[in-house]
Amino acid sequence: MTKRAVVLTVTLTALYLLAAVPSSAFNLFATHEVTAQFATPDGKSMADAEVQVFAPGEAKTPVLTGRTDGNGKFVFEADRDGFWSAEARSADQVARVMIRVGGETQPQSRISPFLVFGVLAVLLLVPIWYRFLRPRSRRPRP
């Protein structure tokens, strides 16, 4: 196996392993980050309440579940515009909210994920090209 084949195999394996690892810190495909705060009718925050989030047009099946923080806040990422609904349940209380996501007032300044991956691929190929193709041009010709 040549040195070039080994480097290519290692590079492709590293890319495969990095792509297989899920990332919860940054979502390239989400368009909006939404924060909902739940409270009881007397104004107390619903800390550690179970939350279900429903996407526009999907009122029966929750697309996301989780728990509120100590202040009754729950943050989720919406991948499309429309009216999202969320429901928080504690031991003796239920709170529901409708949240309008998107519209004319929120400009979208997100960069396309395809553009990001394309630029990263080019940046990866430049050092590979420099490492393997440049030494060939310096070899003395017989």
Chain centre distance of CA 90: 28
117 - beta bridge partners? none
Contacts of residue 56, defined as CB under 8 A and 6 or more positions apart, other chains included, come to 80, 81, 82, 83, 84
- Asked if residue 82 lies in contact with residue 72, where contact means CB atoms within 8 angstroms, the answer is no
- Segments making up each domain of the chain, as ranges: 26-108
Other CB atoms within a 10 A radius of the CB of residue 4 amount to: 11
CA distance 13 to 19: 10
Q: What is the pLDDT along the chain (142 residues), one digit of tens a residue?
A: 577 777 777 777 766 656 644 444 555 555 788 889 998 888 888 999 999 999 998 888 999 999 999 899 999 988 888 899 999 999 888 999 998 988 755 455 577 788 888 889 999 988 887 787 766 666 666 6
* Inter-CA distances, 18 with 4, 15, 27, 119, 126, Å: 21, 5, 15, 17, 19
Pairing of strands 82-89, 94-101: antiparallel
Q: pLDDT tens digits, residue range 61-101?
A: 999 999 999 899 999 988 888 899 999 999 888 999 998 98
Right CATH number for 26-108 from 3.40.50.1110, 2.60.40.10, 3.40.50.150, 1.10.10.10? 2.60.40.10
State the Cα–Cα distance between residues 50 and 5, nearest whole angstrom.
52
pTM, entire model: 0.52
